Amino acid sequence: METLPARWLDSPPAGWDALLREDPSGAPGHRPELARAMAAALPGMTAAWIAVGATGDPAGGAQVLVERRAGFHWLHAMPFLLGGAPLARVGEHARVDLAVASALEERARTTGAVGGEWVLYRPGGPDPGADAMERVGGETRWMESAIVDLGSGIEAAWGRLEGETRRSIEKARRRGLVFAEAPEAIEEGYHLYASQARTFAGYRPRPLQLWRRLLEPEAHPHARLFVVRDAHGLLATALALVGGREAMAWLTGMDPAGRAVHAFPLLLWSLVEWGAEAGCARVNLGASAGRDEVAAFKRGLGARDYRYPVRWLGSSHAGALGRGLAALQGRLRRGRPRGASA
């Protein structure tokens, strides 16, 4: 297979917006606004792009967050397990994947990278090839996300809901619970999210500063803050990312009082309805982190499990100190979801 040239850039290549529109797997993780917001809000992060093919007319590419702390480097495509599979023109995915893999491996070598990840989430497109993944030193693991398909319309999606889930949504609406977009509720919504997130072993809440960056007017409508309220106040919230053909319920939270009145099913289903009205091909309800009850809840909403690979970058190019740091991080991260073996 002919190798396409790849180059690193500090801004998206010309034609990136067209690639994002045309690639069926275009997702929030491909939005430059997301990469820039993360670079601005997270210590040590710099946004970078890999352009593959001719200058000014790329065949594809990827965006990467390069992390540098205390002289050590990590490569994230993308951080927090957000999708980082390359965008590509029709018929070019295999060659673009190989070119991006070679560029990542070369950057890992020249920087002595300690680690990182390449999240090859690509619903609606060809599966990433093992040849590309194995060009990047590390280990391949497999994750799952719950995807609600909107290709046949919202009525068909509603018909796929389990009966109990459908009844819980109807009960929530009869009780007077209301779904709305509410960027002004960022402080209260973040409190719900962070309070719930701290109950998950090994999970660190994403910083409020990142929420603020994503919800800035110039980033709108890349991120949207949705809430469910009743007459007494906020019961559930979701910071949703929007990009390409997908909306994603990324960071969520619920007041304990919301469980009995079915606030969370109403929140996620209303996000699905919003996605359909916005012209999305799918809504990503996220991973279930190995919790069977969460996976069952999402299946009740008509979601299917989509399995995709994550290439966890190794530290073979790092020096002795870097390899020691990677080993220490590995011990500290035990228990966090890293995916299943093949």
DSSP codes of every residue in 17-51? HHHHHH-TT--GGG-HHHHHHHHHHSTTEEEEEEE
Instruction: Give the model confidence (pLDDT) of 76-115 as tens digits.
Output: 999 999 999 999 999 999 999 999 999 999 999 999 999 9
Mean pLDDT in the chain?
92
Inform me whether the pLDDT recorded for 220 exceeds 70.
no
Quickly count: other Cβ atoms within 10 Å of residue 6's Cβ.
24
| Structure tokens given for 112 | 């002595």
Average pLDDT (290-302) is 87
Cβ-defined contacts of 97-100 (< 8 Å, 24+): 97/128, 97/129, 97/132, 98/1, 98/3, 98/4, 98/129, 98/131, 98/132, 98/135, 99/3, 99/4, 99/5, 99/6, 99/50, 99/52, 99/60, 100/6, 100/50, 100/52, 100/60, 100/61, 100/62, 100/132
**Whole-structure pTM value:** 0.93
198, with CB counted inside 10 A (0-12, 13-18, 19+), is exposed
Do strands 57-69 and 72-77 pair parallel, antiparallel, or not at all (unpaired)? antiparallel
d(CA 8, CA 258): 47
For 215, which DSSP code?
T
Domains of the chain in start order, with CATH, are 6-142+308-332 (3.40.630.30), 146-305 (3.40.630.30)
Is there a contact between 66 and 73 (Cβ–Cβ < 8 Å)?
A: yes
pLDDT of residue 97: 96
| Residue 197 confidence class, pLDDT cut points 50, 70, 90 | confident
pLDDT of residue 20: 94
SS3 content of the chain, % helix, strand, coil (to 5): 35, 30, 35
Average pLDDT (279-288) is 93
Region of 194 (left: φ > 0; alpha: ψ -120 to 50; beta: rest) is alpha
Q: Find the largest Cα–Cα distance for the chain.
A: 62
Q: In sequence order, what are the residues at sequence separation of 6 or more whose Cβ sits closer than 8 angstroms to the Cβ of residue 137?
A: 105, 108, 313, 314, 316, 317
| Residue 132 confidence class, pLDDT cut points 50, 70, 90 | very high
Instruction: Give the model confidence (pLDDT) of 225-246 as tens digits.
Output: 999 999 999 999 999 999 999 9
Is there a contact between 157 and 272 (Cβ–Cβ < 8 Å)?
A: yes
Inform me whether the pLDDT recorded for 281 exceeds 80.
yes
| Structure tokens given for 149 | 């398909």
Is there a contact between 57 and 3 (Cβ–Cβ < 8 Å)?
A: no
Inform me whether the pLDDT recorded for 188 exceeds 70.
yes
